[in-house]
């Protein structure tokens, strides 16, 4: 910093401090009362700045959180009209704030934050580099404000915000963008004006309503007042949104049920296939043919019918049945002049001939 500009900055801050005490009794003073009927006129930006600083654009974004606090970000595009380099940008936030953060497109910026219980918060931002004559520089200042949104009891219950802007410099263009809390709706009552002045644009994205005002040629210390009345999402939820929630839950439930059913069917078929393969591996080919012949009769047959179906001799069938009875696959009971054969192991009832299986699948 040049020594001359340093001295000039000290003189400027001294004069600015004197002007702050004068401005505390001006029309921009914030009332102590916070009743809903009193206009809580916020002067977030006011300064008796040197007139050789001009804001090419000033875009202010105000976000109302669910707890009805405000997150504010002011983006300034600054022009230096003086021959002397500009190193600082100073303004006042005449309201109780929680935090301040200054930054540009590169990174955060250094700043001085002085708190005065009478005049408010003085913010002195150090620019990243000295701004020469006719050069343009863009940076942003963000902060939070509490106790500015009033809750109005009634039918319906709604919230009200009176937001005032006192322009810190001559501004060629000013844009205010205000975001309501998620699911909040603009108040719709004939006797009450929901928005003042009439906004330039109202849009909605991701269930958040965005209200915009656009102005040109605002003078230093000129004030604009904005009124917003809305019903928060915790009180009203549109039928469209509730339908979306219901459909999402229903889709999730159907998806889970379908997936679970598919898994059950998959493992059930897989289990049966494994059991059938295991049964087949435990039996010889002739034993399999005899069990298939019994299954063709519903799991209960006679020794004579087994001989007819397999073509095996009576003695061969008798030997194979004896082995299967030892393996606890079936049992033999005397039935007249022949034996009644019953399969007692359920796993072997799945065994069937390939011809029968193809016939069943085709039907």
3-state secondary structure 282-330: HCCHHHHHHHHHHHHCCCEEEHHHHHHHHCCCHHHHHHHHHHHHHCCCE
Greater confidence (90 vs 348) lies with 90
Angle of helix 314-326 versus helix 285-296 axis, rounded to 10: 90
- For 176, counting Cβ atoms within 10 Å of its Cβ (0-12 exposed, 13-18 middle, 19+ buried), the class is buried
As a whole number of angstroms, the distance between CA 312 and CA 265 comes to 39
Nearest alpha-carbon partner for 145 in 30, 19, 233: 30
DSSP tag of 181: P
Confidence of residue 336 (pLDDT cuts 50, 70, 90): confident
CB of 224 closer than 8 Å to CB of 171: no
If one compares 189 and 137, the residue with the highest pLDDT of the two is: 137
Residues 197-214 have a mean pLDDT of 94
Q: Which of 10-14, 21-25, 301-305, 359-363 has the lowest mean pLDDT?
A: 21-25
> Is the confidence at residue 277, as pLDDT, over 90?
no
- State mean pLDDT over 258-263: 74
For 242-269, what is the mean pLDDT?
72
Per-residue pLDDT, 16: 41
HEC readout, 90-134: EEEEECCEEEEEEECCCCECCEEEEEECCCEEEEEEEEEEEECCC
Q: Would you place residue 160 in the very low, low, confident or very high pLDDT band (cuts 50, 70, 90)?
A: very high
| pLDDT over threshold 50, residue 314 | yes
- Over 60: is that where the pLDDT of 23 sits? no
| 343: Cβ contacts below 8 Å, ≥ 6 apart | 291, 294, 295, 299, 300, 329, 330, 349
Q: Are 74 and 42 in contact (CB under 8 A)?
A: no
Identify the residue with better confidence: 234 or 208.
208
Give the H or E element holding residue 47.
none
Beta strands 208-218; 170-179: pairing state: antiparallel
Whole-number average pLDDT of the chain: 78
Q: How far is CA 174 from CA 140, 222, 223, 291, in A?
A: 14, 12, 12, 91
Q: What is the average per-residue pLDDT within 311-319?
A: 89
User: What integer is the mean pLDDT of 207-219?
Assistant: 94
Query: What is the distance between the alpha carbons of residues 233 and 230, in angstroms, rounded to a whole number?
Result: 9
In angstroms, the Cα distances linking 98 to 70, 95, 142, 343 are 10, 10, 10, 83
Residues 17 and 27: beta-carbon distance below 8 Å:
no
Count the Cβ atoms, other than its own, within 10 Å of residue 126: 14
In this prediction, residue 45 carries a pLDDT of: 39
Number of Cβ within a 10 Å radius of residue 98: 11
- Distance, in Å, from the CA atom of 17 to the CA atom of 118, rounded to the nearest integer, reads 12
Would you say residue 272 has pLDDT above 60?
A: no
pLDDT of residue 242: 56
Pick from 211, 179, 91: nearest CA to 139: 91
Higher pLDDT, 270 or 19: 270
- Across residues 67-80, what is the average pLDDT? 92
**The token pair that represents 151 in the structure block:** 């809750």
Measured CA distances, 73 to 54, 59, 94 (Å): 19, 8, 15
Element (H, E) at 150: strand 149-152
Q: What pLDDT is attached to residue 284?
A: 86
| Reported confidence tier of residue 243, pLDDT bands at 50, 70, 90 | low
- 153 dihedral zone (left: phi>0; alpha: psi -120 to 50; beta): beta
Of 56-65, 131-140, 177-186, 263-272, the one with minimum mean pLDDT is 263-272
Neighbours of 134 (CB within 10 A): 10
């Amino acid at each position: 910093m040049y020594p001359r500009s340093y001295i000039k900055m000290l003189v400027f801050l001294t004069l600015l401090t004197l002007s702050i005490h004068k401005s505390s009794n001006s029309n921009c003073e914030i009332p102590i009362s916070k009743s809903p009927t009193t206009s809580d006129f916020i002067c977030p930006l006011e300064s008796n700045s040197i007139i050789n600083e001009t804001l090419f654009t000033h875009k202010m974004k105000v976000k109302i959180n669910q707890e009805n606090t405000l997150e504010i970000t002011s983006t300034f595009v600054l022009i230096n009209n003086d021959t002397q380099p500009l190193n600082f940008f100073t303004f006042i936030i005449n309201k109780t704030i929680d935090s301040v953060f200054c930054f540009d497109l590169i990174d955060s910026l250094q700043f001085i934050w002085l708190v005065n219980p009478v005049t408010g918060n003085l913010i002195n931002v150090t620019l990243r580099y000295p701004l020469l004559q006719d050069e343009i520089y863009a940076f942003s200042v963000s902060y939070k404000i509490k106790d500015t949104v009033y809750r109005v009891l009634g039918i319906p219950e709604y919230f009200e915000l009176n937001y005032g802007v006192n322009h810190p410099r001559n501004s060629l263009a000013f844009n205010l963008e205000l975001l309501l809390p998620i699911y909040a709706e603009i108040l719709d009552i004939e006797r009450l004006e929901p928005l003042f002045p009439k906004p330039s644009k109202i849009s909605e994205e991701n269930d958040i309503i965005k209200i915009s005002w656009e102005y040109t040629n605002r003078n230093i210390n000129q004030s604009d007042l904005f009124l917003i009345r809305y019903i928060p999402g915790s009180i009203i939820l549109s039928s469209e949104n509730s339908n979306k929630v219901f459909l999402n839950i229903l889709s999730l439930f159907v998806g889970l049920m379908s997936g679970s059913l598919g898994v059950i069917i998959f493992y059930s078929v897989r289990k049966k296939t494994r059991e059938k393969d295991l049964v087949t591996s435990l039996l010889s080919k002739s034993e399999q043919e005899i069990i298939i012949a019994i299954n063709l009769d519903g799991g209960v047959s006679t020794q004579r019918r087994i001989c007819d179906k397999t073509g095996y001799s009576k003695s061969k069938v008798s030997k194979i049945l004896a082995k299967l009875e030892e393996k606890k696959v079936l049992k033999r009971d005397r039935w007249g002049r022949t034996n009644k054969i019953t399969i007692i192991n359920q796993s072997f009832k799945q065994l069937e001939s390939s011809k029968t299986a193809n016939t069943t699948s085709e039907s």
